[in-house]
Amino acid sequence: MLKYLKLFEQFITEKKPKGAPDFHHSDAPDAEGRFKDLSIKDLAAWLIKTRKKDVKKISGSLTQQIVFNRKSDPKYAEKMEKTRKEVYKQLGREDLLKEYVVEVKKPIDITVGGKEYKLTKKGSKITLTNTKLSADKLIFRNEKEFKEWADDQVEPIGGTQSSHFGISESTDSESGLGKVYLAFREDSGQRWWTYKGFAGNKFFKQLHENNLDDIDINPDYPVLTYHTDTVNKLIKAGKIKKENVYNHPDHISKSGSKEEFHKLVGEDENIPKTVYSKNDALENLTFPIIAKPARGHSGEGIQIIEKPDLMEDVDEKIFDTFSEYIDKAEEHRFINFKGKPIFWMERTPLNEKAKSGKGTAKEAMEFGYAKRDLKDLSKDYKKVLEKFCKIYEDLPYMCFDVMKGKNGKVYIIESNAQPGVPFDSTIEAYKHIYEDFYKKPLDEESLTKLNEYAKTMIEKTLKKDGGKRFSIK
């Protein structure tokens, strides 16, 4: 249902409208690559100088770039829209920065090409009626037709470029993609924001240390934390709201440290018995035991101590966490959101250390990962995951490594609030954050696109490492 009419300066359609003019060169000074090469601020300043502060000429130049690049290079088109805003800021044109929002519950007066119309809507039909010539009517069967017509205008509308006139905030057609920020470190190699930024370019919107000054950040969007420094910086600068952050940096430390993890969960029955010194290990644990550094990943630094006399060689400067060894029957990784698993991978040992824990502290555990269907997840796993998600309720997005011992008991091994995410796990993260934050489901068009992206990401994952590590079960 159409809710609002917006006259605004950043409306971009998905394709060049039918009947839109072909590209032509203006009489403005030649750009000579400046549109691509200059930063947003520098480009805005150059346009103001070369177009002698003529807003119409500047906006026309940017519109031309947008129309002919929005499909082939949407990132470039987005830069042009941001440059338009920056021009208005530098010129002090607050009137052009303002977004006019009017509820479409009664006829609305608008100006199109110097003609005054009343806009009315009944059902899906949109009608523009000339207020002076009652016979002069424009009737559109649906919102799409109206958008295409509006974007096809070449005359100014109400003092703005008519190509930026459009309808938005429609619950049945507005795209739900690009409405969640991902804060991460650009050089982190996070295994997926991967695929040359696929997730951040297609559905998440990326925030990292190198683009914070180049984009207009909407403070009303949610943010997923994958880099605490970036999030803290944005909160301090007032660019994002603390309450919109999923996994606030203040709580991230609860998951990364093995010691913090064990202290938080205590002596829970689904945790291998754990202590924090050699003496306590000798007095309270049954051998063999596992010696771990407080921080580490992929099993690096972990060593099995088979019997008490071997504890003499254990350096407490390196090892500060000691747990009873569990003879495992199977192992899994679950990404969870607000108490429920949203993605499941079964872990298969690929080397001896991953299988039995035996090996040197310097060796890493190597696992294969098989994507599993959550419909097949047994109740004992669900129960344990629900319990531990509640323990970590300050971290709504949470990953747990879980194993089942040969005794049939389920154990939580480790927690991680910033896990690697192969396959299409980013799709599930985006869906759940969007629907939780905005309190509405994603639109059908966005879901269709996400399904297409999911297929691509799964295919890319299966090809990694020559197809040896990843599979679907």
Domain range summary for the chain, segments of one domain joined by +: 1-172, 255-417
**Whether the predicted pLDDT of 167 surpasses 70:** no
- Three-class SS of residue 177? coil
Which of 214-223, 300-309, 372-381 is most confident? 372-381
- Residues 349, 355 contacting (CB under 8 angstroms): yes
* Tokens of residue 18, six digits: 């039918």
**Whether the predicted pLDDT of 170 surpasses 50:** no
Strands, sheet with 340-349, edge to edge from the N-terminal-most edge strand: 410-416, 397-405, 328-337, 340-349, 367-372, 470-472
Calculate mean pLDDT across residues 20-26: 44
More confident residue, 26 or 191: 191
The predicted pLDDT at position 162 comes to: 32
Calculate mean pLDDT across residues 350-364: 71
**Cα distance between residue 214 and residue 218, in whole Å:** 13
**Cα distance between residue 112 and residue 76, in whole Å:** 29
Model confidence, pTM? 0.62
What torsion, rounded to 10 degrees, do the Cα atoms 235, 238, 243, 249 define? 0
**Whether the predicted pLDDT of 148 surpasses 70:** no
Average pLDDT value over all residues in the chain: 78
| Sign of the dihedral through C-alpha 177, 165, 4, 90 | positive
* Tokens of residue 309, six digits: 């006399």
**Cα distance between residue 343 and residue 117, in whole Å:** 52
* Tokens of residue 327, six digits: 């003879």
* Tokens of residue 210, six digits: 């190198």
> Which residue type sits at 371?
K
Of 77-86, 252-261, 331-340, least confident by mean pLDDT is 252-261
Percentage of residues in the chain with pLDDT exceeding 90? 34
Q: Which residues pair with 108 in a beta bridge?
A: 119
Of 23-37, 173-187, 336-350, least confident by mean pLDDT is 23-37
**Whether the predicted pLDDT of 26 surpasses 50:** no
pLDDT digits (tens, 9 = 90+) for 263-285: 777 778 898 888 888 889 888 99
**Cα distance between residue 6 and residue 11, in whole Å:** 9
Q: pLDDT band for 155, please (50, 70, 90 cuts).
A: very low
Q: Which residues of 349-382 are buried (b: 16+ CB within 10 A; e: fewer)?
A: beeebbbebebebebbbbbbbbbbeeeeeeeebe
Q: pLDDT band for 157, please (50, 70, 90 cuts).
A: very low
Write the DSSP symbol of residue 98.
P
End-to-end CA distance of the chain: 41
Q: Assign 3-state DSSP to the chain and report helix, strand, coil percentages, each to 5.
A: 35, 25, 40
Q: 4 CB contacts (<8 Å, ≥6 apart)?
A: 101, 102, 103, 104, 167, 168, 169
* Tokens of residue 411, six digits: 């154990």
The answer regarding whether domain 255-417 maps to CATH 3.30.470.20 reads yes
Q: Which one, of 80, 84, 58, lies nearest residue 69 by Cα?
A: 80
More confident residue, 192 or 323: 323
Q: pLDDT band for 320, please (50, 70, 90 cuts).
A: confident
**Cα distance between residue 153 and residue 19, in whole Å:** 10
- Residues 414, 272 contacting (CB under 8 angstroms): no
What torsion, rounded to 10 degrees, do the Cα atoms 151, 155, 158, 159 define? 110
DSSP 300-366: TT-EEE-SGGGGGG--TTT--EEEE---EEEEEEEEEETTEEEEEEEEEE-SHHHHH--S-TTPPP-
Q: pLDDT band for 365, please (50, 70, 90 cuts).
A: confident
* Tokens of residue 256, six digits: 């990364």
Q: pLDDT band for 244, please (50, 70, 90 cuts).
A: very high
Which of 100-109, 122-131, 297-306, 455-464 is most confident? 455-464
The predicted pLDDT at position 181 comes to: 95
Of 47-56, 135-144, 300-309, least confident by mean pLDDT is 135-144
**Whether the predicted pLDDT of 193 surpasses 80:** no
**Cα distance between residue 202 and residue 225, in whole Å:** 18
* Tokens of residue 21, six digits: 């003019």
Report whether the peptide linkage leading into residue 288 is cis, meaning its omega lies within 30 degrees of zero.
yes
What torsion, rounded to 10 degrees, do the Cα atoms 156, 161, 163, 166 define? -90
pLDDT digits (tens, 9 = 90+) for 391-448: 999 999 999 999 999 999 999 988 899 998 999 999 999 999 999 999 999 988 899 9
Q: Which one, of 147, 165, 187, lies nearest residue 111 by Cα?
A: 165
More confident residue, 50 or 96: 50
**Cα distance between residue 270 and residue 258, in whole Å:** 15
